[in-house]
Copies of this chain bind each other. A is one copy, B any other.
Amino acid sequence: MSAQIKVAVLGAAGRMGSEAVKAVTDAADMELVASLGRGDDLQQIIDAGATHIVDLSVPASTEQNVRFAIEHGLHAVVGTTGWSDERRAALEALLAEHPENGVLIAPNFALGSVLASAFAATAAKYFESVEIIELHHPNKVDAPSGTAVRTAELIAKSREAAGVAPSPDATETQLDGARGAEVDGIHVHSVRLRGLVAHQEVLLGGPGEQLTLRHDSYDRASFMPGVLLGLRTVASRPGLTYGLDGYLELGQ
């Protein structure tokens, strides 16, 4: 098929990169034309005829990789961290000179997690109470998880914009820590348990009813449907999109 997406994977030897190599290879509407690791010459991407890159390399090289892609007329889907405000501003300036090119930078490619956060922010306007429980393996060094903090921030922003009062709470005496941490006024509880991977529940309550949004992440494979969705969409979205939710149809 002439319209096929020709993909070069950068950071192909890493854990995410090797999953992406597999996923692109298995996708019927894509062709894997190049796999680059650390130190490989970027010119290979052009020689192989790529139309898209997936950058899953390291913070030190991601900016150079993406600029190279844009300057050669390619679209880019980026999962590497390290995109500070400055880097993103510089990238947008470059994209202004290449108005046909699209770039997606996504801190999270798990569709279920991105959807759950978006749904939580939407629903939080309509309920009196909201709290977050995140559950992870016991080797995690920080609590709460970054995803839980971002979800709480989104929820708080959504409730503030809608003028919703803080969640009711009559607690007078508590054992230290019982009511969890507070992130922008939202209570967040962190469970650590052997056997778990990465899980999150947003609990919303109103008179006589409860809505629970739960996401379970078992495996790095969960990121690949999001990477493929990014590759299929990025050419039709010129400029920079930050966050996979920008590509999802969240209304009805």
Residues on A lying within 8 angstroms of B by beta carbon are 110-113, 115-116, 118-119, 121-123, 125-131, 133, 135, 138-144, 149, 167-183, 187-197, 203-225, 229, 245, 248-252
Residue pair B142, A173 in contact (C-beta under 8 Å): yes
Given A181-B177, A191-B187, A204-B112: A250 and B252 interface contact (C-beta under 8 Å)? yes
Decide: B172 and A181 in contact? CB cutoff 8 A. Answer: no
Alpha-carbon separation in the docked complex, A200 to B30 (Å): 38
Pick from B173, B178, B192: contact of A129, CB under 8 Å: B192
Partner of A215, one of B111, B118, B211: B211
Q: Given A125-B249, A144-B178, A189-B189, list of 18 further CB < 8 A pairs?
A: A112-B126, A119-B213, A133-B189, A144-B174, A149-B175, A167-B192, A168-B192, A170-B192, A171-B192, A177-B180, A180-B191, A196-B205, A197-B218, A208-B220, A209-B215, A210-B216, A212-B216, A213-B213
Known contacts: A219-B208, A221-B208. The answer to whether A142 contacts B174 by CB under 8 A is: yes
- 5 smallest beta-carbon distances between A and B, as pairs: A208-B219, A208-B222, A209-B222, A193-B205, A208-B221
What CA separation (Å) do A246 and B208 show in the bound complex?
22
- Report which of B118, B172, B183, B214 forms a contact with A252, defined as CB distance below 8 A: B118
